[in-house]
Amino acid sequence: MNNQGWKAHLNLGFIRGQNKTLLSKRSHYGPLTVQRPFYPEAEVCHVYILHPPGGIVGGDQLAIDIDVDKSAEALITTPGAGKIYRSVGKQAVQKVSIKVRDDATLEWLPQETIVFEGAQLVSDVRIDLETNARFIGWEILALGRPAAGEGFKQGKVFLNWQIFRDDSPLFLERMRMDSEAFESRWGLNQCSSFGSLFAVGASTLSLEAVRDLIGDTSGMGVTLIDDLLICRATANKTALIRQFFENVRAIIRHEIVNKPDYTPRIWAT
């Protein structure tokens, strides 16, 4: 690392083999890499993304490019929570670009990101889907560390999600979180954690099932735009959002990726 921070890039490609999906491309520079692929579900390729420094600081620039070829099936997660450390002014930048080809499926399920008070984060996620591609993905963030008596009186988080199908936008969102949004009733109302789950390939059956799951629980919501299911949640603990999203995924997974519920073992460690 130099005074400008880490620069890292990870490029992954998945193709359909005879009996399973193969990790056909794996290149990287800087502190981003993956473990060997796992096959706990036979044909689905499970991959864990590793960031050896364990956290991101101002000036770091991380980029991840993923290409899931026609009819391939992949699940990508991380072995632990990400951390964005306090910055004296420089932004930490994360950019994720995902392409899912026709009849392919991808689950993008990183564990939560803890944004320390005073951190400066810019996160861009772009999902490009071909006609019959299927996708489940989520993003869960914790602002500050309440257990350590830390709120979010300083710092800024810029989130940008873009989901396209055949180059036409399905969902575009820009979000800015700072101390005002953290404190205000129109924002997080001092809830330290929030998250979004997106699933493409959903129907009203999934919508109604998730509505039944939510019931009268506050801080959780779901909507369906065409076949894009969007779930939102706020809470004072990321574990509550994680559990909600895992429950949603268990309900919708068969419809979206044509697989029964399966929880990656790394989440239990």
CA–CA gap between residue 12 and residue 179 (Å, rounded): 36
- pLDDT of residue 3 exceeding 60: no
- pLDDT of residue 27 exceeding 70: yes
241 within a domain of the structure (yes/no): no
- Residues 42-70 have a mean pLDDT of 94
Per residue, the 3-state secondary structure of the chain, as one string, reads CCCCCCEEEEEEEEEECCCCEEEEEEEEECCCEECCCEEEECCEEEEEEECCCCCECCCCEEEEEEEECCCCEEEEECCCCEEECCCCCCCEEEEEEEEECCCCEEEEECCCEEECCCCEEEEEEEEEECCCCEEEEEEEEEECCHHHCCCCCCCEEEEEEEEEECCEEEEEEEEEECHHHHHCCCCCCCCCEEEEEEEECCCHHHHHHHHHHHCCCCCEEEEEECCEEEEEEEECCHHHHHHHHHHHHHHHHHHHHCCCCCCCHHHHC
- Residues 102-118 have a mean pLDDT of 95
**What percentage of residues in the chain have a pLDDT greater than 90?**
81
Q: For residue 133, name the pLDDT band (cuts at 50, 70, 90).
A: very high
| Residue-wise pLDDT tens digits, 194-249 | 999 999 999 999 999 999 999 999 999 999 999 999 999 999 999 999 999 999 99
204 within a domain of the structure (yes/no): no
CA–CA gap between residue 55 and residue 176 (Å, rounded): 21
Please tell me which residue, 169 or 184, carries the higher pLDDT value.
169
Decide if 85 contacts 55 (C-beta within 8 A).
yes
Instruction: Say how many domains are in the chain.
Output: 1
In this prediction the pTM is 0.95
213 within a domain of the structure (yes/no): no
256 within a domain of the structure (yes/no): no
41 within a domain of the structure (yes/no): yes
126 within a domain of the structure (yes/no): yes
- pLDDT of residue 86 exceeding 80: yes
Distances (CA, A) of 235 to 113, 198, 218, 239, 260: 14, 18, 9, 9, 28
Residue 102 structural domain:
7-190
CA–CA gap between residue 18 and residue 199 (Å, rounded): 27
CA–CA gap between residue 14 and residue 251 (Å, rounded): 26
**Average pLDDT taken over every residue of the chain:** 93
- pLDDT of residue 149 exceeding 80: no
Decide if 199 contacts 229 (C-beta within 8 A).
yes
1 within a domain of the structure (yes/no): no
63 within a domain of the structure (yes/no): yes
- pLDDT of residue 73 exceeding 70: yes
Residue 74's pLDDT is what?
Answer: 98
CA–CA gap between residue 23 and residue 13 (Å, rounded): 6
Decide if 111 contacts 78 (C-beta within 8 A).
yes
Q: Is the dihedral of CA 106, 234, 187, 208 positive or negative?
A: positive
Residue 162's pLDDT is what?
Answer: 98
| Residue-wise pLDDT tens digits, 182-209 | 888 888 888 889 999 999 999 999 999 9
- Residues 11-34 have a mean pLDDT of 95
- pLDDT of residue 153 exceeding 90: no
Q: What angle do CA 256, 261, 266 make, to 5 degrees?
A: 115
Q: For residue 97, name the pLDDT band (cuts at 50, 70, 90).
A: very high
Residue 1's pLDDT is what?
Answer: 43
Residue 152's pLDDT is what?
Answer: 86
Residue 73 sits at φ, ψ, to 5 deg, of -135, 120
Name the residue with tokens 């979180």.
177
- Residues 163-176 have a mean pLDDT of 96
- pLDDT of residue 58 exceeding 60: yes
Q: For residue 2, name the pLDDT band (cuts at 50, 70, 90).
A: very low
